[in-house]
Amino acid sequence: MTEYIGFWMFPVLLIFLLGGFPIALSMICTAFIFGVIQFGDAASFQLISQIDSVAGNSVLAAVPLFVFMGAFLEKSGIASKLLEAIHIWTWRLPGGMALSTIIMGAIFAAISGVVGATEAVIGLLTVPVMLKHAYDKRLISGTVCASGSLGTVIPPSITVIVLGPVANVSVGELFAGLLLPGLIMAVLFGLYVVGVAIAKPAMAPRTMEGGPEYSLGQKLRITAVALIPPSILIFAVLGSILMGIATPTEAAAWGALGAVGLSAIYRTFTWSLFGNALMKTLLITTMILLIVLGGSMFAGVFFASGGMLAIQTLLNDLGIPAWGVIALILLLTFVAGFVLDLISVVLIVIPIAMPLVLNLGFDPIWFCIAFLVVLQTSYLTPPMAPSIFYLRAVAPPEITLRHMYSGVIPFIVLQIITLVVVLVFPELATWLPDVLLG
């Protein structure tokens, strides 16, 4: 039946991916093939219009600015200063080093917005220290992977900046809605680490000697030097968005400028660092925007070929209740996260899911927050967990894939608990956007 021809786009896309084609080119080729089948020569005009649509999207201008901010901070030395400041307060606590890793992951996620950069920095700084103090390799792996993945649900997140325009919701509202679920998840991670250290001390030996010894005044001074400048940067970026003072793009520009200023304050600025950050920004931004373009073309052909109407008809015929539809969408998101990067999942699933969500009467902000939590969970779930492969790139050989796979399982459970809490209590995702942005 011709009304279901759009469904064949998904297996064709999967064939391209299994053949080793990049995700962006796979989506563009699939869109071109089915566009020509359905519309003939007119398909070229439709695909070209998508290029113009992506190029003219002002919100996406924030992407290179946030990427530059994250790339610059990754090399500026701010992460090592943050870890030192956190560690002087936590090293005597049960699981203090792992707890420091989680706190640093949350703070650095709020600064950089780039998940891969967050995990790479955390892994390089904390894995050798925890190994030196005989922490269990499974706990090390799970803590670093989970902490790095917080960049998905703690704003500013590149994934959210792409999600906003695709879902036709405010990026500022998404940032506000993510704050409470993101903090809940980080707190659950911290409580788990402390609980493991108390219940099984051998997994996280509590070192009472050999740690940093400072007076209260020294601790406060070190903490102020390490935390106040980044806190100002976080406030300048997130605060300006949440209070409606600046758009995400304007805030991202302040963030990029602030990253350069921080490196000057810490005396780590060099022109070589600046050039490397620009080159990394160019490469990452090109990749992201090409994927966005491919996703826009794919979704455009799917909608134009009647795919959305076919899905709605199929769901009505099957008689699936509203909550069943939401569960099915989140399950498909979880599965897609195994084989695709985060932004690709957003661009394939969200254009199809949002009309269904709105027709069923659910709050779009609430759904997007739940979607992001599921996306983060799939990002951490074996066997295709990108988070594990980021860690593998920076971890020493004695930490094996077996350690990583078993280490992330408790944190996956905690993420699922966070998802259930968000689903049962939608106010966690909608209250703050209502209060801050009306």
pLDDT digits (tens, 9 = 90+) for 343-357: 778 888 888 889 889
Residue 7 lies in a domain: no
Number of domains in the chain: 1
Task: Compute the CA torsion angle 41, 46, 49, 50 (nearest 10 deg).
Answer: -130
For 205, the domain range is 24-437
Sign of CA dihedral 8, 14, 16, 22: positive
Q: At residue 424, what are phi and psi to the nearest 5 degrees?
A: -80, -35
Residue 12 lies in a domain: no
Output the CA angle 38-44-47, nearest 5 degrees. 95
Residue 1 lies in a domain: no
Per-residue pLDDT tens for 99-148? 988 988 888 777 766 666 677 777 877 888 888 888 899 999 999 988 88
Share of the chain above pLDDT 90, in %: 14
Question: For 39-48, 372-381, 410-419, which range has the lowest pLDDT when averaged over its residues?
Answer: 39-48
* pLDDT of res. 233: 82
* pLDDT of res. 218: 79
* pLDDT of res. 22: 81
Alpha-carbon distance values, 428 to 44, 91, 167, 416, 434 (Å):
44, 32, 20, 15, 11
Residue 244 exposed, middle or buried by CB count within 10 Å (0-12, 13-18, 19+): exposed
* pLDDT of res. 308: 67
Residue 13 lies in a domain: no
pLDDT at 306 over 60: yes
- Per-residue confidence at 300, pLDDT binned at 50, 70, 90? confident
- Per-residue confidence at 314, pLDDT binned at 50, 70, 90? confident
pLDDT at 340 over 80: no
Tokens of 187: 């707190």
Question: For 23-32, 119-128, 254-263, which range has the lowest pLDDT when averaged over its residues?
Answer: 119-128
Per-residue pLDDT tens for 274-286? 888 888 888 878 8
Residue 223 lies in a domain: yes
pLDDT at 53 over 70: yes
Residue 35 lies in a domain: yes
d(C-alpha 329, C-alpha 323), whole Å? 10
Residue 2 corresponds to which amino acid?
T
d(C-alpha 96, C-alpha 206), whole Å? 8
* pLDDT of res. 116: 66
* pLDDT of res. 190: 93
pLDDT at 184 over 90: yes
Query: 0.85 exceeded by the pTM?
Result: no
d(C-alpha 219, C-alpha 375), whole Å? 38
Q: What is the mean pLDDT of the chain?
A: 82
Residue 2 lies in a domain: no
- Per-residue confidence at 411, pLDDT binned at 50, 70, 90? very high
Residue 15 lies in a domain: no
pLDDT at 2 over 60: no
Question: For 177-186, 215-224, 325-334, which range has the lowest pLDDT when averaged over its residues?
Answer: 215-224
* pLDDT of res. 113: 64
Mean pLDDT across 7-30: 82
- Per-residue confidence at 252, pLDDT binned at 50, 70, 90? confident
Mean pLDDT across 63-89: 77
